[in-house]
Amino acid sequence: MCLKLHRLSSTFRTTSIALLTTAALSSSLLQADILASWDTWTDASGSNADETLTGFSATMTNSAGSNNIHGSFGSDDGTYGDDVSGASTSPGALLLSETSGSDLLEFTITNNSGQDFNIGTLHFDFAPRQNGNEVAHGYNTFVLSYVSGGLGPDSTEIDTQTGLSNVVLDGTDKAISAYPGYDYSLAASLTDTILSHGESAKFSIAFSGQTDETIGGNEGRNTSSILDNLAFQGAVIPEPSSLALLLLSGLGFLFLRRRS
The residues of the shown chain that bind Ca ion, judged by CB under 5 A, are 39, 74, 77, 79, 92-93, 125, 150, 181, 192, 194, 228
Query: Pseudo-torsion of CA 18, 23, 256, 259, nearest 10°?
Result: -20
| Amino acid sitting at position 194 | I
Q: Are 86 and 213 in contact (CB under 8 A)?
A: no
Residues pairing with 167 in the sheet: 129
Q: How far is the CB of 240 from Ca ion (least distance, A)?
A: 17
How far is the C-alpha of 205 from the C-alpha of 155, rounded, in Å?
A: 12
Q: How far is the CB of 164 from Ca ion (least distance, A)?
A: 15
Q: What is the CA radius of gyration of the chain?
A: 24
Q: Which is nearer to Ca ion, 176 or 246 (CB)?
A: 176
Q: How far is the CB of 85 from Ca ion (least distance, A)?
A: 9
Q: How far is the CB of 26 from Ca ion (least distance, A)?
A: 22
Q: Which is nearer to Ca ion, 150 or 209 (CB)?
A: 150
Q: Which is nearer to Ca ion, 161 or 218 (CB)?
A: 161
How far is the C-alpha of 213 from the C-alpha of 222, rounded, in Å?
A: 8
